[in-house]
Structure 1
Amino acid sequence: MNATARRQAFRAILAGDSCVHPASVFDAISGRIAAEIGFETAILGGSVASQAVLGAPDHIILTLTELADLVRRITRGGAPPLLVDADHGFGNALNVMRTVEELEAAGVAALTIEDTLLPRPFGPDATALLPLEEGLGKIRAALAARSDPSLVIVARTGALGVTSTEDAIARARAYAGAGADGIFVTGLSDLAQLDALRDATGLPLLVGSAKAGIGGAAVLAAHGARVALQGHHTFPAAVKAMRDTLQALRDGTAPKDLPGIADGATMKRLQREAHYDAAIRDFLGG
């Protein structure tokens, strides 16, 4: 699929009546695996991007250029329609416009812009939100910056876990009024909150984090959620596999005896060796 087709596929998810779990991906191969398995969509989390590119925690020190480069590798590799956590848009509303331009060019299907005060300001460590007017300005700027109308712009708010349900509803209503395509919420603790957000905005909801036991995909779907994250477990799983393999080699395990290694056929398929072999025959006289 080209970028527009991927964006239309993501819009179809939002317009449907089911709730899907996105695959958490971080490079070309993880994106291909997600597509091969059949995930309808994928996500690149901000924390995962920071870990993958910098080996650093999610302190908003990744640059837009670094994020866009990583996104381009993932989308070029054939990942499912990709939702990207664009954090606060890397600055003010003008920076948000640049963020949308760069990520659209990199092939994302959807991106979120959040109203958290980022990066962390000087002083005590306490999560704070932007004033509503400033957050609204960022969403309006994001919408103005896209050139492909099929690109999905999602307004993200952390108000449920920072201020109140009433504030979350007010912010979501304002973002919906500006033209956002969906509302992404974190800190969900009650299904009634989803109902209130759905009724206030009429928009599909995306759930980033929720109280344990609140319900599975079918339950969330019935309350207006169309995408629900399950966390970002693939990157730490890959880290453990790499460390275990290196430790085994360091301890003297013979390469042929290493457990958990993808076989040759799997690697050839995931790196599209047949495609490149055909190109060699066609264009290099091989």
Structure 2
Amino acid sequence: MTATERRKAFRAVLSGTACLHPASVFDAISGRIAADLGFETAILGGSVASLAVLGAPDHIILTLTEFADLIRRITRAGAPPLLVDADHGYGNALSVMRTVEELETAGVAALTIEDTLLPRPYGPDRTELLPLAEGLGKIRAALAARTDPSLVIVARTSALSVTTTEDAVTRARAYAEAGADGIFVTGLTDLAQLTALREATGLPLLVGSAKPGLGGAADLARHGARIALQGHATFPAAMQAVHDTLKALRDGTAPKDLQGLPDSATTKRWQRDGHYDTAIRDFLGG
């Protein structure tokens, strides 16, 4: 699919009636595996990107260029329509415009811009929100910067966990009135919060962290959610697999006796051997 086709596919998810779990991806192969497994959407989290590029925790030290380069590798490999966590847009509203330009060019289907005060300012470690006017300015800037109208701009707020449900509704309503395509929330503790947000905005909802026991995807869907994250377990799983393989080799296990490796046919499918074999025959004389 082209970038525009992927964006339209993501919009179809948002306009549907089901709530889907995106695949958490972090590189070209993980994105391709997600596509092979039939995931309708994928997500690249900010914390995952920081680990993949820097091997560092999520302290907003990844640069926009590094983030866009990673995204480009994932989208060109054929990942499902990709939602990315663009954090605070890497600065003020003008920086948000640059962020949208770079990520649209990199092929994302959707991106979130949040109203959390980032990066962490000097002083006690506590999460703070931007003033509503500043957060609204960022969403308006993001919308003004896109050139492909099918690109999905999602306004993200942490108000449910930082201030109040009422504040979250006020912020979400303002972002919706500005033209945001969806509302991403974290800190969900009650499905009634989703109902309030849906009624206030009329927009599809995307759910990050949520209190356990709120129900499954069907329950979330009935309250307006169309995307619900399941965390980012794939990258820790990959780290553990690398550790276990290297440790086994270090401890003397012969390569042929290693456990958990894909067979040759699977590896060839993931790396698209058939595509390259055809190109070799067509353009390199066999």
Name the TM tier (shorter chain). over 0.9
Tell me if 1:101 matches 2:105: no
Distance 1:38 1:277 in 2: 24
* Structure 1 residue 257 corresponds to structure 2 residue 254: no
- Superposed, which structure 2 residues align to 1:151-162 within 5 Å? 151-162=151-162
Residues of 2 paired with 1:45 and 1:70: CA distance? 12
In the TM superposition, what is the alpha-carbon distance from 1:250 to its structure 2 partner? 0.2
2:16 is aligned with 1:16: yes
SS at match of 2:211: coil
SS at match of 2:11: helix
Number of aligned residues = 286
SS in 2 for 1:80: coil
Deviations 1:178-227 (CA, angstroms, capped at 9, x unpaired): 00000000000000000000000000000001000111000000000000
Alpha-carbon distance in structure 2 between the residues aligned to 1:262 and 1:92 = 45
Q: SS where residue 113 of structure 1 aligns?
A: strand
Alignment-derived partner of residue 164 in structure 2 = 164
The corresponding residue for 1:213 is 213
> What is the DSSP-based 3-state SS (H/G/I as helix, E as strand, rest coil) of the residue aligned with 1:10?
helix
Query: How far 1:105 moved relative to its partner?
Result: 0.2
Q: CA separation in 1, counterparts of 2:216 and 2:58?
A: 27
Q: Deviations over 1:91-141 (max 9, x none)?
A: 000000000000000000000000000000000000000000000000000
**Where does residue 51 of structure 2 map in the other structure?**
51
Q: What is the aligned partner in structure 1 of residue 246 from structure 2? A: 246
Instruction: Map 1:127-206 to 2 at 5 A.
Output: 127-206=127-206
Could you report, residue by residue, the CA deviation over 1:157-176 in whole angstroms, capped at 9, with x for unpaired residues? 00000000000000000000
Aligned-residue Cα RMSD (Å) equals 0.3
Counterparts of 1:138 and 1:46, CA distance in 2: 18
Gaps of 5+ in 1: none
What SS is found at the alignment partner of 2:160?
A: helix
Distance in 2 (CA, whole Å) between partners of 1:277 and 1:35 is 21
Aligned to 1:284: 284
- Which residue of structure 2 lines up, in the alignment, with residue 112 of structure 1? 112
* Letter in structure 2 aligned against 1:71: I
Q: State the alpha-carbon separation in 1 of the partners of residues 262 and 53 from structure 2.
A: 24
Between the aligned residues of both structures, percent identity stands at 82
Whichever residue aligns with residue 269 of structure 2, its letter is: R
* Residue identity in the other structure for 1:109: A
Superposed displacement of residue 285, structure 1: 1.0
**Structure 2 residues without counterparts, runs of 5 or longer:** none
Partner of 1:4: 4
Shift of 1:241: 0.4
Q: Which amino acid aligns with 2:37?
A: I
Distance in 2 between residues matched to 1:33 and 1:284, nearest whole Å = 28
Question: Partner letter of residue 37 of structure 1?
Answer: L
Alpha-carbon distance in 2 for matches of 1:230, 1:276: 34
Letter in 1 for 2:220: L
Residue in 1 aligned with 2:66? Answer: 66
The TM-score with structure 2 as length reference comes to 1.00
Amino acid across the alignment from 2:130: L
Question: Residue 269 of structure 1 corresponds to which residue in structure 2?
Answer: 269
Cα distance in 1 for partners of 2:229, 2:59 equals 21
Amino acid at match of 1:200: A
Corresponding letter in the other structure for 2:227: V
2:81 corresponds in structure 1 to 81
